[in-house]
Amino acid sequence: MAIEIEAAPSVQLSRVADSETHGENLAYFAGWKAYDEDPYNEASNPSGVIQMGLAENQVSFDLLEECLEKHSEASTWGKGAPGFRENALFQDYHGLLTFRKAIVSFMEEIRCGGAKFDPERVVLTAGATAANELLTFILADPGDALLVPTPYYPGFDRDLRWRTGVKIVPIVCDSSNNFQITTEALEAAYELAESMNIRVRGVLITNPSNPLGVTISRSVLEDILDFATRKNIHLVSDEIYSGSVFSSSEFVSVAEVLEAREYRASERVHIVYSLSKDLGLPGFRVGTIYSYNDKVVTTARRMSSFTLISSQTQHLLACMLSDKKFAKNYIEINRTRLRKRYERIIDGLRSAGIECLKGNAGLFCWMNLSPLLEKPTRESELDLWRTMLQEVKLNISPGSSCHCSEPGWFRVCFANMSEHTLEVALERIHKYMEQRRT
């Protein structure tokens, strides 16, 4: 006689748990799954899928490893550095002062001294993911909105909206002016929100932009800041790729704009930073919020209890980044290497007949495949994306996953692989484009 084994009755979870706002059923992640199932490996799986959908910086690890060799105190916890015991016990949400000072110094170096930062305004979080969510909890109530220029980082849908209940209203940008943010677009987004009875609490920009790979110009920053001031809303500037600008003179931080204005109306401005991209250390979970608003600093610090940075990691990075010579050297060399990669991929794509947006920063390029689309629609774009994934065996990110208003654009990462792998990828694209022509 068969015995029926009843599965334990399933249980109702929260609305947040049931919602799809975590975003994982989207194309952006489907590509990752395809890669996970058939990952390229130079030796063992040379025909596998090459991961070009992951914005990681793997070009400068040798510099980090060299630095570690010089700083044994990072591991021994001895000789003047805080002992193991103190470090292991340290859970103060202010964060290690040495670490905050080191981060400040690094951020100032990236901006070539164009802005000064105060370590007392640095709030630490476990990654920029946590920083953006935390700021949203502080600046907006459920049902409110943040305005975000499109195309934008797909993770924002989860980070800004999932548990906070806050909405994103897009500031639509397009290729007619190289996707730059305009005052008209800002106003249009604000009006759209108003027409839906949604209260706008702030603008969130990413500078340099992900996925565009372009810095925002000073005059556009001024316009955005003026807009935020006019509407009396916040401005969050996610500057996570600030150290990955190919030429130092081309990056202007909102901090510099504020300094030039003698910090008038600065209490509405907050900067997000992280070491995941510039230093290539996403595993260490190092994010920061820098706010010019005292109440935001205090509240963010309290909230960071849910997402502190491991004191072991704070100690390690304090040791490394306090070495100003290393920091300066790293930033310069890293920039140069990224620029070289960028130039190589642009060149390779061009010779295959593909153009990209003229970029000057980041770990990716913004590739224009709209001429290849059957129809200028999202569906066509996704068809093309599937072809890229399944036939060309490249995982690249479709513009629609970044909420791009124009179909046919793709984000292609170039810094998360060896030079050889990049050549293999370019070779595959070449072959594909040739096949298409015949």
- Residues that are catalytic: 153, 238, 240, 277
Note whether 65 binds other proteins by CB under 8 A. yes
The smaller minimum CB distance to other proteins, of residues 179 and 326, is found at 326
Residues 154-173 that bind other proteins (CB under 8 A): 158-159, 162-163
Window 103 to 132, contacts with other proteins (CB under 8 A): 118, 121, 126-127, 129-130
Query: Do 269 and 237 meet the contact criterion of CB atoms below 8 Å apart?
Result: yes
Q: If you ran DSSP here, which 8-state letter would residue 179 be given?
A: T
Using alpha carbons, select from 415, 425, 416 the residue that is nearest to residue 349.
425
Which residue from 207, 311, 397, 401 is in contact with other proteins, where contact means CB under 8 A?
311
Query: Which helix (H) or strand (E) segment is 236 a member of?
Result: strand 234-238
Torsion sign (Cα): 200, 206, 210, 212: positive
Looking at the DSSP bridge assignments, the partners of residue 367 are 356, 410
| Cα→Cα distances 307→11, 125, 129, 294, 319, Å | 28, 5, 10, 20, 22
Q: Of 88 and 382, which CB lies nearer to other proteins in the complex structure?
A: 88
Name which of 144 and 381 has its Cβ closer to other proteins.
144
Subset of residues 89 to 108 that bind other proteins, contact rule: CB under 8 A: 89-91
Of 284-303, binders to other proteins (CB under 8 A) are 284-285, 292-296, 299, 302-303
Q: Which of 306, 390, 427, 436 binds other proteins (CB under 8 A)?
A: 306
Which positions from 367 through 406 interact with other proteins, judged by CB under 8 A?
Answer: none
Residues in binding contact with other proteins, number by CB under 8 A: 80
Q: How many CB atoms lie within 10 A of CB 315?
A: 24
Helix (H) or strand (E) holding 81: none
Collapsed DSSP state (helix, strand, coil) of residue 1: coil
Q: How far is the CB of 434 from other proteins (least distance, A)?
A: 34
Q: Select the residue interacting with other proteins from 3, 5, 8, 43 (CB under 8 A).
A: 8
Classify the C-alpha dihedral 407-408-409-414 as positive or negative. Answer: positive
Exposed e or buried b per residue across 217-254, where buried means at least 16 C-beta atoms within 10 angstroms of its C-beta = eeebbebbbebbeebebbbbbbbbbbbbbbeeeebbbb
Query: Quick one: 84 or 377, whose CB is closer to other proteins?
Result: 84
Least separation in angstroms between residue 120's CB and other proteins is 9
C-alpha dihedral, 10 to 12 to 13 to 18, nearest 10°? 90
24 vs 30: CA distance, rounded Å:
8
Question: Which residue from 175, 217, 248, 312 is in contact with other proteins, where contact means CB under 8 A?
Answer: 312
**What's the min distance (Å) between Cβ of 6 and other proteins?**
10
Nearer to other proteins, 159 or 381 (CB): 159
Window contacting other proteins (CB under 8 A); options: 167-175, 282-290, 337-345, 361-369:
282-290
Question: Of all helices (H) and strands (E), which one includes residue 269?
Answer: strand 269-274
Which residue of 41, 178, 232, 351 would you call a contact of other proteins, by CB under 8 A? Answer: 232
CB of 53 closer than 8 Å to CB of 364: no
Site for other proteins in 255-274 (CB under 8 A): 263, 266-268
Give residues 170-189 in contact with other proteins (rule: CB under 8 A). Answer: none
Q: How far is the CB of 86 from other proteins (least distance, A)?
A: 9
Q: Candidates 175-183, 281-289, 344-352, 353-361: pick the segment binding other proteins (CB under 8 A).
A: 281-289
Q: Which of residues 17-56 bind other proteins (CB under 8 A)?
A: 17, 22, 24, 56
**What's the min distance (Å) between Cβ of 372 and other proteins?**
32
Is residue 216 a contact point for other proteins (CB under 8 A)? no
Residue 143 or 376 having the CB closest to other proteins:
143
Adjacent-strand bridge partners of 170: 148
Decide whether 60 or 368 has the Cβ nearer to other proteins: 60
Q: Cβ neighbours of residue 343 under 8 Å, at least 6 residues apart?
A: none
